[in-house]
Amino acid sequence: MANTSLIFVTFIVLLPVLCLSFSPDNPTDRRILVLLDDLALKSSHSIFFKSLQARGFELDFKLADDPKITLQRYGQYLYNGLIIFSPTTERFGGSLDLVAVLEFVDSGRDLILSADTNASDLIRNIAAECGVDFDEDPSAMVIDHTSYAVSDAKGDHTLIASDGLIQSDVILGSTKIEAPVLFKGIGHSLNSASSLVLKVLSASPSAYFANPNTKLTSPPPLTGSDISLVSVVQARNNARIMISGSLDMFSNRLLKSGVQKARSSNKYGKSGNEQFVTELSKWVFHERGHLKAVNVSHHKVGETDEPAIYRINDDLEYSVEIYEWSGTSWEPYAANDVQVQFYMMSPYVLKTLSTDQKGLYYTSFKVPDVYGVFQFKVEYQRLGYTSLSLAKQIPVRPFRHNEYERFITTAFPYDGASFSTMAGFFIFSIVYLYNKSRSTPSKLLHPLRNKPISLFFPRTRALPISYSALSISAILTKEQTVKDEDTPQGESSSSTFNFKAYMVQKANSVNQALDEAILLRDPQKIHESMRYSLLAGGKRVRPALCIASCEIVGGHESTAMPAACAVEMIHTMSLMHDDLPCMDNDDLRRGKPTNHKVFGEDVAVLAGDALLAFAFEHIATATAGVSSERIVRVIGELAKSIGSEGLVAGQVVDINSEGISDVGLEHLEFIHVHKTAALLEGSVVLGAILGGGSDEEVEKLRKFARCIGLLFQVVDDILDVTKSSQELGKTAGKDLVADKVTYPKLIGIEKSREFAEKLNNEAKDQLAGFDQEKAAPLIALANYIAYREN
């Protein structure tokens, strides 16, 4: 009964100790299996073993070949650590073998392995699996003739006094090891493929690895600082391994021995071995450098509860507590390099955690604008410390339809630009419409009277078009002769002028010159298209005007012929382009299908361009007997008459006026003066300049040409509503269909006829100062333009 009571009391007293030993919060290995070659090592290495026992470790000593050795029972490991001090053992006893040792380490448990001279293959293989390679020569030792211990009795310099220690307070403690460490044994090299193995004690640069009893015949396999005397492994599963090439290093003899390094005057009463192996064993058995993370939390800023899901752009806080085991208790871990990742396939956020120096690490950040399944990840790895790998998964969702911002501030500049544009356009429209009826119009020169005309024209009510059965011939004579009454008052003509014969003769000359100017050559299609429209007939009014104006100032037909051909080429070009679908969309011209109907729109455009270019080339190269100054002046006049201030200007305004109901008379005159009269004016001025006319003569003829140019278009508008397509040789009534502004539409047919008569008289008045015999062709041409029927 007394024995039972004693056992019960003892159990109650030891219960807290037992609970502490197996507590998951205590990372220190408490039960360690020690394998020995000889039980005598218990006494020869007792200082090292007692230091472990004094720190609370329970050591179970067994011979390495004991048949009862086992590391686990019923699937559970019996030990937390393993010390192998049996370098010569070829085979372990019981169930222990190489695989069992490696599985023991793979389970996260710790190992101290000591080799020595004549180390067995079993020991070497265990070391090799841990990333450490011992040399195959069983008799080789580390020799150093400069860093040996003076107390080396044999004199073979195999007792090394090394101070090549790793600089790490975590592995070797914060107290510096002052005395050299005595080492007698074999060295090893580290596997370069492994990043987990570290040298803790290295040989000096003068050391080498060889058999001290034989003479060197070849370079030693290991030399200098490449030789590692003691190494450690920090496995990825946080298991720790220490591998030494000297069993004597742990012996009482070397732990107590004094030391003096060769070539050094410093003598130490005690070697650094005891401090070295004690501090290193503390690290191996997790008494130092062991970290744990607890209380990982995350939540929205301003809240405390951890949500089940975050929303993009949420502000969140993340925190974790990290502690380090001191050997007896958990102490706050202080560092400034702990980072957290907000991770999905790759880190979207990487933040360094702040710390309060009491173990708490924290940060805050905004959830990225990406939804999916993220992880909070902390991957912390630092030399000598156990690695931390924390992961916590959390989904992130996008905004719901009712969670978007009501007003997105970043869009304000775009919104402001849009609204200001609309407001500006509205204000501009009001101002424009208001000023259109009230403001003073801008001015252009009137083609006939050299007076300013308005671009913003007063609204002239269009008179209804009267489609009278009266033919245009009713106000025009059909005779092709000009009698004395056509001669300006005060002048006389001795004979009548046969205008028809004159026009036939000039037309034949011009046609022949045109045929010779543009020959059928490669590329054949473009030249066929050019000749098709250029030689399709026509009245040749513009070439005739050019030749007649040259003759009236004393020039000859041959002088003006290149320019006469050029204006006809340009006139033909304007007709080809005017007939295109994008312009007037005509199907007939001079009684034949238009150019684009025969050759296609693309070729028609290019043929017109070619005629335009060749016209200037022809003047420059074919004109003879005229000074270069006059030729240059002619080219400039021709270019101006068809450019953006001439024919093109009239065409553009004409196109833009289609469908507009409030176009005035002066606006219509602007169109015709530029679209039609400009080229007629150019034809007359070119001839006058080439014929040698004075500036006064040129200006009179210019005014004459402006009048007949506008006259030509007024008559053309009348013919468009009074003649058939067959009579005109082109599509009749097209201006009415296109809703174009014409003189009959604005002022009626009768007023249009009266205006045409007035223009004819004003044109002939400009010829009063010239020789009337030479002026007869121009007078007849004016009458022809006024009285033509097609």
Q: Do residues 601 and 714 share a domain?
A: yes
Q: What is the mean pLDDT of the chain?
A: 83
Give the integer Cα–Cα distance in Å for 444 and 513. 38
* 364 falls within a domain: yes
* 475 falls within a domain: yes
Query: Distance of alpha carbon 725 from its chain centroid, rounded?
Result: 61
92-129 in b/e form (b: 16+ CB < 10 A) is bbeebeeebbeebbeeebbbbbbbbbebbebbbebbee
Q: Do residues 597 and 729 share a domain?
A: yes
Least confident of 118-132, 405-419, 608-622: 405-419
* 1 falls within a domain: no
End-to-end CA distance of the chain: 150
List the Cα angle 372/377/382 in 5-degree steps. 160
Q: Do residues 351 and 323 share a domain?
A: yes
Q: Do residues 392 and 414 share a domain?
A: no
pLDDT one-digit tens code per residue, 691-714: 998 999 999 999 999 898 888 888
Confidence of residue 642 (pLDDT cuts 50, 70, 90): confident
Q: For residue 61, what are the contacts with CB-CB under 8 A and spacing of at least 6?
A: 34, 36, 39, 42
The three-state (H, E, C) secondary structure of 132-188, written as one string: EEECCCCCCEEECCCCEECCCCCCCCCCEEECEECCCHHHHCCCCCCCCEEECCCCE
Question: Which of 284, 307, 328 lies at the terminal end of a domain, its last residue?
Answer: 284
Mean pLDDT of 174-201: 90
What pLDDT is stored for residue 165 in this prediction? 93
* 11 falls within a domain: no
Q: Do residues 478 and 338 share a domain?
A: no
CATH number of 303's domain = 2.60.40.1930
Give the integer Cα–Cα distance in Å for 350 and 340. 6
Q: Are 398 and 314 in contact (CB under 8 A)?
A: no
* 354 falls within a domain: yes
What pLDDT is stored for residue 727 in this prediction? 64
CATH number of 584's domain = 1.10.600.10
* 493 falls within a domain: yes
Q: Do residues 672 and 637 share a domain?
A: yes
Sign of the alpha-carbon torsion through 16, 20, 22, 24: positive
Residue closest to 175 by CA, chosen among 160, 185, 165, 188:
165
What pLDDT is stored for residue 485 in this prediction? 37
Please, which residues bridge with residue 76 across strands? Answer: 73
CATH number of 149's domain = 3.40.50.880
Q: For residue 202, what are the contacts with CB-CB under 8 A and spacing of at least 6?
A: 162, 164, 225, 227, 228, 229
Q: Do residues 347 and 421 share a domain?
A: no
* 541 falls within a domain: yes
Residue closest to 399 by CA, chosen among 313, 457, 458:
313
CA atoms within 13 A on the CB side of 782: 30
pLDDT one-digit tens code per residue, 605-632: 998 899 999 999 999 999 998 899 999 9
For residue 150, is pLDDT > 80?
yes
pLDDT one-digit tens code per residue, 228-252: 999 999 988 899 999 999 999 999 9
The better pLDDT of the pair 52, 442 is held by 52
Structural domain for 211, as ranges: 22-284
Confidence of residue 741 (pLDDT cuts 50, 70, 90): confident
Give the integer Cα–Cα distance in Å for 361 and 528. 90
Q: Do residues 222 and 324 share a domain?
A: no
pLDDT one-digit tens code per residue, 374-387: 999 999 999 889 99
Share of the chain above pLDDT 90, in %: 43
Q: Do residues 490 and 417 share a domain?
A: no
If one counts the domains in the chain, the total is 4
What pLDDT is stored for residue 494 in this prediction? 34
Q: Do residues 414 and 323 share a domain?
A: no
Question: Which of 255, 284, 313 lies at the terminal end of a domain, its last residue?
Answer: 284
Please, which residues bridge with residue 584 across strands? Answer: none
Q: Are 370 and 396 in contact (CB under 8 A)?
A: yes
Q: What six digits make up the tokens of 395?
A: 């989904």
Give the integer Cα–Cα distance in Å for 524 and 530. 10
Q: Do residues 510 and 494 share a domain?
A: yes
Mean pLDDT of 131-144: 88
What pLDDT is stored for residue 563 in this prediction? 92
What pLDDT is stored for residue 253 in this prediction? 92
Q: Are 742 and 730 in contact (CB under 8 A)?
A: no
* 14 falls within a domain: no
Least confident of 173-177, 585-589, 692-696: 585-589
Residue closest to 606 by CA, chosen among 682, 692, 490, 523:
523
Q: Do residues 279 and 306 share a domain?
A: no
For residue 527, is pLDDT > 80?
yes
Question: Which of 227, 249, 284 lies at the terminal end of a domain, its last residue?
Answer: 284
